Amino acid sequence: MKFDTPAGQNPIDQLKVVGKPTDRIDGKYKTTGTAPYAYERHDVVPNQAYGYVIGASIPKGRVRRIETAAAKAAPGVVAVVTTLDMPALGLGKMNVANLFGGDQIQHYHQAVAVVVAETFEEARAAAYLVKVDYAPEGGKFDLAAQAQAAKPVSGGSGEGSGGGAEDRHGDFEAAFAQAPVKLDETYTTPDESHAMMEPHATVAAWDGDKLTLWTSNQMIAWGKGSIAKILGIQPENVRVDSPYIGGGFGGKLFVRSDAVLAALGAKAAGRPVKLALTRPIIMNNTTHRPATIQRVRIGTTQDGHITAIAHESVSGNLPHGRPETAVDQTKLLYAGENRLTGMRLAQLDLPEGNSMRAPGEAPGLMALEMAMDEMAERLGLDPVAFRVRNDTQVDPGKPDRPFSQRNLVTCLKIGAEKFGWDRRNPKPGQVRDGHWLVGIGMAAGFRNNQLTKSGARVRLAGDGRVTVETDMTDIGTGSYTIIAQTAAEMMGLPLDKVVVKLGDSDFPVSSGSGGQWGANNSTSGVYAACVKLREAVAQKLGFNSADAVFADGQVRAGNRTVPLGEAAASGELTGEDSIEYGDLSKKAQQSTFAGHFVEVGVDVDTAEVRVRRMLAVCDAGRILNPKSARSQVIGGMTMGVGAALMEELAVDTKRGFFVNHDLAGYEVPVHADIPHQEVIFLDEADPQSSPMKAKGVGELGICGVGAAVANAVYNATGIRVRDYPITLDKIL
């Protein structure tokens, strides 16, 4: 189905099932431990051996020799495969560094060997007997030290954002020089780790030339293509199956070493191999969100109209690596005739930087929205009023291009009212509650809505049940449920008559889960397939498909009413299709918006920061399931608190690795860190986004939160910390 004109009325608009706050249909499996994650796929194939991955203990250089005799002779060992056994295997989709093969070490903990044994313990014990002889080389590990040498760069993260190296409109320098009120500040954000609950894990089995990977991956079709390319086999000989995923946040958008080494280990062992990357290896072996150094300049008139805005960001990566696109939102968020955005990329020999939840906008807004708070103060303007004053309903760089929908101002106004913003003391450091200094802060949130092809197949059985099959993934987001809701709405069925099967590369190719595009695109693919199935049903029953009404498990036309299942009485009926998009998103800018409000307490003695209240007001098109969408947003808000206050991969700039590579040293917020969170969704539907009229919301939840926390800390204390995370040592 080609979607190239705004959606009119369609069956989804009935909102009998879609739009309802429905419990996750997979929730009971997850909470009872019966949803098998990759490492728990004990029963998919017999005789599984265990793999243990060894990571390089140098950040850069060459592997001279690997001694495996002792490991091979150790109890239970079945096979040892080393990186010297084969040439460099090449890069899969979005991979920055080589995952295995050859003698070059590009980053610390890059995989150099896998040991396969009868048990995990035997594999691990034998791994310690493998001796690797390295020829180390010096490398560059310090972003600040390399920032001067960073080169202008375009393009962005693999999630589809990006643009030119430098984007200019008007004459920024002249307008900034003339502006009566201005700001020129630099903000830094650290390297961050996805730190998802489920580690990267794979069970691999060969059947002749055919490879099956039961794994944990957000993008099944990418994964299938990548593993084929990396291993030099035909894509049709690869099956990837990933029905349950314990979090990804971008860290599982692409094939990682667990999948490659499970496949190679299984080949060498002549039997299936199961392996997980252990927690201490994940932070350096896999990917992370790259650190940034961001300079923001804003010039306004006396009354707070932006006349000049510039945002420039430096980040680092390995060769082939992309920049963190931290300036993207600044192209679109506020008005202003004279604009400049630019990115520079430094070469670093740290582990590869790549997508992490809202790549670009998440750290970009941490800078921009703190700068907006500072600017409002200089102007003597309320931070909400300053943003409202600079709202734009068109792409400020291309004024003939409107937003499809943009209700940022409504988000900010509702948020201010519900949060009690008028009780904020604009003078910082004034409000005490016992030994806490109390402050409130806000920020705007922004994230684009990306449209991408997505397919599905729906099958109707004689008992009236509908089964949906698509390689879409559920990374903890609620895909199972919104897909079931979509099919139920389209076919006129209750939810319990719909079965959803996901994450298998044998199913039609979907959008996958990334860039907050999953919900809108994958359900639109299901919509398209259901349109086909409705046609097949009508034809089978001799109805004119335009007249047929699908409701209450029946199909009606004229004065005839037939149970839906009857259409499949003599054999299953199938509808299969993809949603494909025309250039609607070129004609109008599609984005999502939020107002984030945060109250913090800062201990007057220790400077410990506690978040006390949070509110997000979101404008993200139709909300398909307010319950799972809320969970997405509060998860994003929680991650935003982490980014603001605690998350940081500490770089050892001499030895070239992330020091705190486990969950003891890498701190993320836990329940006790997070107060009551409230989420309000504007009641919207965007007919330009898809037949579902929905947009992404999973990344919007994090966008802007970090700055809202930072601005609240400033309001509490009068201390402006521009170097994230805002740990207590920086406040004292």
Residues forming contacts to ligand MOS in the complex (CB under 6 A) are 159, 218, 248-250, 253, 355-357, 359, 514-516, 699
Q: Are 241 and 505 in contact (CB under 8 A)?
A: yes
As a whole number of angstroms, the distance between CA 240 and CA 223 comes to: 7
As a whole number of angstroms, the distance between CA 129 and CA 72 comes to: 9
At closest approach, how far in Å is the CB of 526 from ligand MOS?
A: 20
Question: 289 has which bridge partners?
Answer: 192
Helix axes 518-541, 479-491, angle to 10 degrees: 30
C-beta of 363 vs 621, nearer to ligand MOS: 363
Residue type (1 letter), 431:
V
C-beta of 288 vs 357, nearer to ligand MOS: 357
Residue with tokens 């390295």: 134
**Helix residue ranges per DSSP H, 360-497:** 361-379, 383-389, 408-419, 479-491
At closest approach, how far in Å is the CB of 633 from ligand MOS?
A: 14
C-beta of 136 vs 160, nearer to ligand MOS: 160
C-beta of 112 vs 277, nearer to ligand MOS: 277
Residue showing the smallest CB distance to ligand MOS in the complex: 250
Please give the structure tokens belonging to residue 322.
């992309």
As a whole number of angstroms, the distance between CA 162 and CA 168 comes to: 15
C-beta of 245 vs 526, nearer to ligand MOS: 245
As a whole number of angstroms, the distance between CA 125 and CA 21 comes to: 49
The one catalytic residue in 122, 374, 377, 699 is 699
**Helix residue ranges per DSSP H, 182-323:** 220-231, 257-269, 279-285
Residue with tokens 């430094």: 346
At closest approach, how far in Å is the CB of 517 from ligand MOS?
A: 8
Element (H, E) at 601: strand 591-603
Q: How many CA atoms lie within 13 A of 310 on its CB side?
A: 22
C-beta of 239 vs 357, nearer to ligand MOS: 357
At closest approach, how far in Å is the CB of 253 from ligand MOS?
A: 5
Q: Catalogue the E-assigned strands of 434-513.
A: 436-448, 454-460, 466-470, 498-502
The string of DSSP letters for 510-531 reads ---S-TT-HHHHHHHHHHHHHH
As a whole number of angstroms, the distance between CA 454 and CA 185 comes to: 42
Q: Catalogue the E-assigned strands of 608-668.
A: 609-619, 651-652, 657-658
At closest approach, how far in Å is the CB of 503 from ligand MOS?
A: 15
As a whole number of angstroms, the distance between CA 104 and CA 474 comes to: 36
C-beta of 284 vs 516, nearer to ligand MOS: 516
C-beta of 61 vs 250, nearer to ligand MOS: 250
Contacts of 686 (CB under 8 A, 6+ apart): 404, 405, 449, 590, 621, 622, 693, 694, 695
At closest approach, how far in Å is the CB of 513 from ligand MOS?
A: 6
At closest approach, how far in Å is the CB of 363 from ligand MOS?
A: 12
699 is catalytic: yes
At closest approach, how far in Å is the CB of 515 from ligand MOS?
A: 5
Please identify every residue annotated as catalytic. 699
